[in-house]
Amino acid sequence: MDKLEKARIEINEADKGIAELFCKRMNAVRTVAEYKMERGLPILDAAREEAVVIKNSALVEDEELRAYYVNFIKYTMELSRNFQHKLISGARIAYSGIPGAFASLAARKLFPDGEHVAYPNFEAAYNAVVNGECDSVVLPIENSYAGEVGQVMDLIFFGSLYINNVMSLAVTQNLLGVPGARLEDIKQAVSHPQAIEQSSVYLHEHNITPVQFSNTALAAKHVAELGDKSVAAIAGDEAAKIYGLNVLAHGINESGMNTTRFATLSRVENKREGRPDDNFMLVFTVKNEAGALAKAMDIIGKYGYNMRGLHSRPMKSLMWQYYFYLEAEGNVRTENGKKMMEELKAVCDKLKLVGSYAVK
């Protein structure tokens, strides 16, 4: 047997082993896809993939071969992502609004292969996941200009779903008119109250009367159907494309850094091993005694967690009673996190870890 034939036999044996390990790996990928689908998690976890490449490439001692192995493992992970996309393509993702709404855009960014299902309001979208109509729901929780979205936070406090992912989406409000309309023709602008508030300076400067509407995309649809050159909508580029409107003025919102944070909520909690740069959210009520809230804050600080925000909301069923929701930085899936939660139970009447998630 010459060298070539011997080498080919070794390659064939290696290929056989690779094929067996490939099937084993892809079956594990199938389990990962099912886990992500249940929890509404994104397919791409860039930090995880980078860590895998660094860790596994160190196993290849031959420096010349190591560069080829890096390409090999990256391509293998790309195949894994493609397989996950195929498996998750049937996921039903709820959102509030209609096509062209910012929630619709967020849902498509988070779940490009999912089936996106529109609901008329936050509660209907949320309940679609609770009752099993959809797998996950994408809802806004905070805007950098207008603050928290109280209705959604109420659903999170009183409901049973978990936050497994949070994404920030840049929001640019535009003045949209029907074909043929000019900026000087516009007398009224219809939109959601928050969009109107964000664009109030521009509207005042141009003597445009604001008219409130339930949703930015619905406002764009209304203007398109109305066909009046004197009436415009305040909405995003996507709504203009969908409803055949022209952008008369771009970026009319007062804050150029306007972003909205969208959360993915699912029936199953993501209990993956956390990371130091994770965030987590708690909702809680404190005992009716002096200093109870301060005690809760002291406990969180004692374990080294930095609070990003603390807000209160009235409990509509109980007069003058409030619940709190808190977002903090750090990995709560640690022994310190467990100890913190145990100590908080002593000063809280109700306490729930709504979710821990990477910040994007």
Query: pLDDT tens digit string along 327-341?
Result: 999 999 999 999 999
- Residue 47's alpha-carbon distances to 56, 101, 277, in angstroms, are 14, 30, 11
Pick the CATH number of 3-88 from 1.20.59.10, 3.10.20.70, 3.50.50.60, 3.30.565.10: 1.20.59.10
Residue 8: band (very low, low, confident or very high) from pLDDT cuts 50, 70, 90: confident
Provide DSSP, 145-209. TTEE-HHHHHHHHHS--EEEEEEEEE---EEEE-TT--GGG--EEEE-HHHHHHTHHHHHHTTPE
Q: What is the pLDDT of residue 255?
A: 67
Task: Provide φ and ψ at 233, rounded to 5°.
Answer: -120, 150
Q: Average pLDDT in the 171-186 region? A: 95
CATH 1.20.59.10 placement within the chain: 3-88
Predicted TM-score of the model (pTM): 0.76
Q: Average pLDDT in the 310-326 region? A: 85
Q: What is the pLDDT of residue 179?
A: 97
Query: pLDDT tens digit string along 34-61?
Result: 888 778 788 888 888 888 899 988 999 8
Q: CA nearest 241: which of 253, 254, 224?
A: 224
Q: What is the pLDDT of residue 168?
A: 92
Query: pLDDT tens digit string along 54-106?
Result: 998 899 988 888 889 899 999 998 888 888 877 776 788 999 989 998 999 99
Q: What is the pLDDT of residue 91?
A: 82
Highest mean pLDDT among 30-34, 113-117, 194-198, 279-283: 279-283
Q: CA nearest 203: which of 249, 259, 258, 143?
A: 249
Q: Which long-range contacts (CB under 8 A, 24 or more apart) does 51-57 make?
A: 52/77, 53/77
- Give the class (CATH, top level) of 270-360: alpha beta
Tokens of 221: 């649809």
Q: What is the pLDDT of residue 264?
A: 94
Q: Confirm if 225 and 213 have CB atoms less than 8 A apart.
A: no
Pairing status of strand 279-286 against strand 322-329? antiparallel
Q: What is the pLDDT of residue 256?
A: 62
Q: Confirm if 354 and 162 have CB atoms less than 8 A apart.
A: yes
Q: CA nearest 119: which of 141, 143, 142, 93?
A: 93
Q: What is the pLDDT of residue 277?
A: 80
Residue 138: band (very low, low, confident or very high) from pLDDT cuts 50, 70, 90: very high
Q: What is the pLDDT of residue 207?
A: 96
Query: pLDDT tens digit string along 182-198?
Result: 999 999 999 988 889 88
What is d(CA 155, CA 161) in angstroms, rounded to the nearest whole number? 9
Q: Average pLDDT in the 303-316 region? A: 90
DSSP code at position 276: T
Question: Which residues face 336 on adjacent strands?
Answer: none
- Residue 82's alpha-carbon distances to 86, 138, 198, 220, 249, in angstroms, are 6, 23, 40, 35, 39
Q: Average pLDDT in the 107-113 region? A: 88
Helix axes 3-39, 63-88, angle to 10 degrees: 40
**174-252 fold:** D-Maltodextrin-Binding Protein; domain 2 (3.40.190)
Question: Environment class of residue 266 by beta-carbon count within 10 Å: exposed (0-12), middle (13-18) or buried (19+)?
Answer: buried
CB atoms within 10 A of CB 211: 15
Tokens of 234: 């305040």
Residue 351: band (very low, low, confident or very high) from pLDDT cuts 50, 70, 90: very high
Q: What is the pLDDT of residue 305?
A: 94
Q: What is the pLDDT of residue 143?
A: 82
Query: pLDDT tens digit string along 198-240?
Result: 899 999 999 999 999 988 999 999 999 999 999 999 999 999 9
CATH 3.30.70.260 placement within the chain: 270-360
Q: Average pLDDT in the 290-297 region? A: 89
- Residue 324's alpha-carbon distances to 4, 284, 320, in angstroms, are 72, 5, 13
Q: Which long-range contacts (CB under 8 A, 24 or more apart) does 179-182 make?
A: 179/244, 179/245, 179/246, 180/229, 181/229, 181/230, 181/232, 181/246, 181/248, 182/229, 182/248
Rounded to the nearest integer, the mean pLDDT of the chain is 89
DSSP code at position 305: P
CATH 3.40.190.10 placement within the chain: 174-252
